[in-house]
Each structure stands twice: as C-alpha cells, then as structure tokens.
Amino acid sequence: MTLEQVYFVSQIMSAIGVLSSLIYLGLQIHNNTRELRSQGYYNAMALVQRPMEILVESESLARLINEGYASAETLSGHDWERFAYWNFLLFNGWEYLFYQARESAIPANLWLGAEGYFKGLLPAKPGLARFWSEYRASFAEPFRSHVEGYFR
C-alpha cells in the first residue's frame, strides 16, 4: 500500500468516526429533550395539583374556599386572606401553564385541559372576581390580559 492510499484510508476512517460521533450526539440530544419535556410536564402537574391537595387535606379550608367562591364578600378578614392566598397559588399554577404552553414546553393537550378547567371556573365562581380585582397586579402581561378576557 502506498503512502497516498494509507492517507485516503485514514481520511475515510476519520470521516466515519466524525459521523458516528454526530449520530451519537444527535441521539443524546433527542433523549435529553424527551427527559426535559417529561420533567416540565411533571413540574406543571405538581404546581397545579398542589392547591387541590391542600383542599383534600383540610376540610375547613375546603369549606372556606367554597364559601368564598359563592360570595367572597361574606368572608371575614382572616378568612378572606386564606381564600386569596389559596387562589394565588391556583392562579400561579395557571400562569405557569400559560407560559409553558406558549414556549411549547408542555404537551398541548395538558394546556387545553387546564385552560378548559380555568375557563369554566371563572364564571362559575363569583368570588373569584373579587380575588382578581385585588390581586391582578401580581400577574404580568400577557397572562393578565388573558385572564381578564374571561371576566368580561
């Protein structure tokens, strides 16, 4: 074998090595992206479900939230604060889903389900209007306008 042939064989082997490395890197990136999406889904679910878990754990809070949903004006000062803080947690979860959906970081069906839930919750629970009027400034645009569209 001539020196020139050895050179060409080494170039071919180098090219095969580079291609193999690129294929491996592509597979690693694909797997990492899938794991990140899975983690994003888990984070979204954990954040949105936490307020519900709190209600399940506390019968007195569940009663207070239902009373506030019916008419927030009937709540005492202390009860109003608990109602408002619980809803703040709930709306933070909605806001997280909103921004994650805009970035396509969560499955579209997760967003559609959550959005449907919140969209139905606002008109069905009159006490949320008071919460939103007092806490709306805590949420930035464009989420704020998104929510306000459901109160019109």
pLDDT above 90: residue 125: yes
Quick: pLDDT tens for 68-83.
999 999 999 999 999 9
Task: Please work out, in degrees rounded to the nearest 5, the angle formed at the alpha carbon of residue 151 by the alpha carbons of 125 and 102.
Answer: 105
Residue type, 132: W
Name the DSSP letter for residue 58: -
In angstroms, the CA 66 to CA 127 distance is 9
pLDDT above 80: residue 36: no
What is the reported pLDDT for 129?
95
Query: Of 34 and 57, which is predicted with more confidence?
Result: 57
What's the pTM? 0.78
Within 8 A by CB and 6+ apart from 5, the residues are: none
pLDDT band at 140 (very low <50, low <70, confident <90, very high): very high
Query: Of 145 and 33, which is predicted with more confidence?
Result: 145
Contact indicator for 104, 148 with CB cutoff of 8 Å: no
Domain coordinates of the chain in residue numbers? 39-151
Quick: pLDDT tens for 1-33.
788 888 888 898 888 988 888 888 888 887 777
